[in-house]
Amino acid sequence: MGAAGAIWVGTGGGLRFGLGAAVLLGVVAAAVALRRRTVAVLLMLAAVGAISGAFASARIETTMNATVPTGPIVFIGVVAEDDGPQRPAVVRPEEIRREGEWVAWPGPPLAVGPDPAAPLVAGQRVEITGTMRASPGRVRGDPIAGRVTIANTEVLGRVGGPLYTVGNAVRDRVRAVLDLSDRAQALVSGFLIGDTSGLDARDLDALRRSGLTHFVAVSGSNVALFLAAWWVATAFFGIGPKRRFVLGMIGLGIFVIATRWESSVLRAAFMAATVLGAAAAGIAIDTWVAVGVAVGVLLLVSGQLAVDVGFQLSVVATIGIMVGAGMFADRRPRALWAILGAATAAQVAVIPVLLWHFGTVPLMSPIANLLSAPLVTGATVSGAVAVLSGWGPAILVSSTLASGVLAVSEVAARWPQLGPSGAAAVLCIGLLVRWPRTRPLATVGVAAFLAVSTLATAGPPPVPTVTFLDIGQGDATLLRDPGGGVALIDGGRDPLVLSEALRRHHIGRIDLLVASHGDIDHIGGFAGILEDRVIGRIWLPDHPDWGEELGDLVDRALAAGVPVDVVGPGISYRLGAIAIEVLGPMRRYLTQNDGSIVLWVDAGGTLLLPGDIEAIAQRELPALHPDVLLVPHHGSASTDHSWLTATVGAVAVISVGPNTYGHPAPEIRSTLAAAGAEVWVTMEDGDVTLPLNMP
């Protein structure tokens, strides 16, 4: 493990600093070789890891900086990564059509689609007709140089040999037997092959917040179950160590392809291959050596794994499980305490990684894992039987057990999440519990911490406030009254981002929900909000074209018995000390933007929320001078400068995120500065909270 750790550190250095890190480590290793041989060996391993990291960094940079043809394009390539409902495929080009001729083009990886009519599957050789734009980025962590919008796809064949063929056949069989439109069966697909494309974003978020995501990451237990079934199926070939090694390698290759080489699968499969290889050679190795060999070799082969969050979580969780499995070996019932010990140790081990990447960790994850582990095992085994046999009762059993896991995740997702300080406190208390003399004190501390974390929630603010939520490119504005009343105007683009923002502010019930207009960056976040929170009333604009998303919100609201009002000027709502009045739309406009609901908010101080209205609708509003102005349309240049100068008061807020539209326009910021307004930008300042009780 020490060698693997040295390689990992070196790989990270190579990714960050290039070959210079390898040279420096090599020089230091040579300098200490005579006196500190062990240290020198570790430094040399780190230097080798740095070389791997440097080459990985160079490959990524080369892809990101590659020049690609833009506009209409026809090319042939091999699909490296499947597409999904919301995710493009990755295709490696081979040839491009220019002036009616096919020309060799081993171009950089491209993001293609997705195309719901013709899903792309890894291993296919395809001819793509579409439109290319230069757009360096990543898809599932892999670098791409451009993005292609598909006009037509033609599958020319498959590549990859028999292992690819069988691996894809396994994946196709799972997807054919299970109904991925059913949440529970989609989760079973995640247990079996890591395919969570049938789960919606809220289910995946609940799994993450409850600490259960690893069950769909496909790792050691899945590999063990697959190998057991594989050896039963191939038993007639014999079971000697050498034959088992050969058969095991074939089976592992098939499983890695079927699960689309997830980093956690690679780690688990390479560990299994190491153990099988050692057994075939007559060498006894323990689990720690297997982990070290797997981690070290994988990092040397693919340096970018050093910064892959899935790989990091898989490795540290595995180490935690190995440590924690015997933590409560003296307790009975043994199986129960073994699961609890492993889950607790794994959760402790992944805390630094979760905090680094996500900022929080689920406090009660061990309990959620204890409840879910037997359900997952049963669902996985019965799901495998169902896939092999197509037997209906097995599908029913598997989906029923998976439904139980979803229920646990939905409940556990509402349990406390800890930031760095809370995680440190719990870890310290946990260490105290291991010392007999301090156990009474630690027990009281744990009980007090859980009580405070679970029961204490932030109450309403002492004065009326407005919070402009940092939800990326879009609008989401929260009004809160000291009496507990809440209004939410717009919800941004992403329901998970909005949900997290509302959790930050401890928002459960929303008395008034306002959709200013039908643009996705204002109402996309409302998807699923009726299921997650209690909504008192919904306001909608008087516009003939709401769009699909807003129409769906109305349908679900009416089905749930939530009142829905189409509002216009003169309509008002009282939220405790906050008075909300509709000023617009003044009439029906040609565009949705000008048809936005415009709100005047008065709670001692005043606030204007104009949605995305542009120059035409702005000029038709009455003369206004609010204390706080939400700048229309995310600071777009479509705002009338004279109207903005005359309207803006002491404070202006621009709700915006990273975008390609040029928001906020420099001239708008200049106009606000010239008017003497204090300007806040959510992309730069995060959530912006202001009091509304100004005199």
Rg (CA), the chain: 29
On the question of a cis peptide bond just before residue 664, with omega within 30 degrees of 0, the verdict is yes
629-641 mean pLDDT: 93
Predicted pLDDT at 456: 46
159-167 mean pLDDT: 84
CA 281/CA 288 separation, integer angstroms? 18
CA 154/CA 124 separation, integer angstroms? 10
How far is the CA of 10 from the CAs of 57, 181, 299, in angstroms? 13, 44, 10
CA 363/CA 629 separation, integer angstroms? 39
CA 197/CA 204 separation, integer angstroms? 10
Residues 447-486: tens digit of each pLDDT: 555 555 544 445 788 899 999 999 999 999 999 999 889 9
Q: Please give the torsion angle defined by the CA atoms of residues 19, 22, 23 and 26, in that order, rounded to the nearest 10 degrees.
A: -170
SS3 (DSSP) at 311: helix
Residue 29 near residue 280 (C-beta atoms within 8 A): no
Residue 83 has pLDDT above 90, yes or no: no
Residue 606 has pLDDT above 60, yes or no: yes
Predicted pLDDT at 126: 92
Residues 582-600: tens digit of each pLDDT: 998 988 888 888 989 999 9
CA 363/CA 159 separation, integer angstroms? 46
Query: What is the Cα 46 distance to its own chain's centre?
Result: 31
CA 262/CA 82 separation, integer angstroms? 12
Predicted pLDDT at 450: 53
- pLDDT bin (cut points 50, 70, 90) of residue 404 is very high
Residue for token digits 């936005």? 596
Would you state the structure tokens that stand for residue 673, as one six-digit string?
């500065």
Residue 418 has pLDDT above 70, yes or no: yes
Residue 53 near residue 98 (C-beta atoms within 8 A): no
Give DSSP secondary structure letters for 55-80.
HHHHHHHHHHT-----EEEEEEEEEE
SS3 (DSSP) at 539: strand
147, β-bridge pairs: 111, 133
Predicted pLDDT at 452: 53
User: In terms of residues, how long is the chain?
Assistant: 695
314 or 477, greater pLDDT: 477
Query: 159 Cβ partners below 8 Å, 6+ apart?
Result: 78, 123, 124, 125
Which of 93-97, 197-201, 280-284 is predicted most confidently?
93-97
Predicted pLDDT at 234: 73
In the structure, how many helices (H) and strands (E) does the chain have? 24, 22
CA 626/CA 539 separation, integer angstroms? 22
551 or 677, greater pLDDT: 677
624 or 417, greater pLDDT: 624
- Weakest mean pLDDT among 252-256, 519-523, 563-567: 252-256
Would you state the structure tokens that stand for residue 398, as one six-digit string?
């598997």
SS3 (DSSP) at 496: helix
Would you state the structure tokens that stand for residue 556, as one six-digit string?
């679900």
Q: In what order do the strands lie in the sheet with 477-480?
A: 564-567, 535-541, 510-514, 486-489, 477-480, 465-468, 688-691
Residues 32-75: tens digit of each pLDDT: 776 777 888 888 888 888 888 888 888 888 888 888 888 999 99
Would you state the structure tokens that stand for residue 383, as one six-digit string?
């799901």
Residues 110-145: tens digit of each pLDDT: 998 887 777 888 888 999 999 998 888 888 778 899
SS3 (DSSP) at 147: strand
CA 45/CA 25 separation, integer angstroms? 9
Residue 34, CB-side half-sphere exposure with 13 Å CA sphere: 1
Question: At 340, which helix (H) or strand (E)?
Answer: helix 334-358
Angle between helices 287-301 and 37-64 (to 10 degrees): 40
Residues 181-198: tens digit of each pLDDT: 899 999 999 888 888 878
Residue 150 has pLDDT above 80, yes or no: yes
Residue 694 has pLDDT above 70, yes or no: no
Predicted pLDDT at 18: 83
Phi and psi for 94 in degrees, rounded to 5?
A: -120, -40
Predicted pLDDT at 451: 54
CA 92/CA 122 separation, integer angstroms? 11
Residue for token digits 């061990």? 366
Residue 12 has pLDDT above 60, yes or no: yes
Residues 649-674: tens digit of each pLDDT: 999 999 999 887 889 999 999 999 99
Give the count of beta carbons closer than 10 Å to the beta carbon of residue 549.
16
Residues 323-345: tens digit of each pLDDT: 776 666 677 777 666 766 777 77
Residue 396 near residue 382 (C-beta atoms within 8 A): no
Our CA angle for 599, 604, 609, nearest 5°, is: 20
Residue for token digits 């960050």? 16
> Which pairing describes strands 678-681 and 651-654: parallel, antiparallel, or unpaired?
parallel
Predicted pLDDT at 486: 94
Residue 13 near residue 47 (C-beta atoms within 8 A): no
CA 353/CA 208 separation, integer angstroms? 13
CA 250/CA 237 separation, integer angstroms? 13
Please, what is the average pLDDT of the chain? 84
pLDDT above 90 covers a percentage of the chain that reads 31
396-414 mean pLDDT: 91
Residue 81 has pLDDT above 80, yes or no: yes
Residue for token digits 């990270």? 12
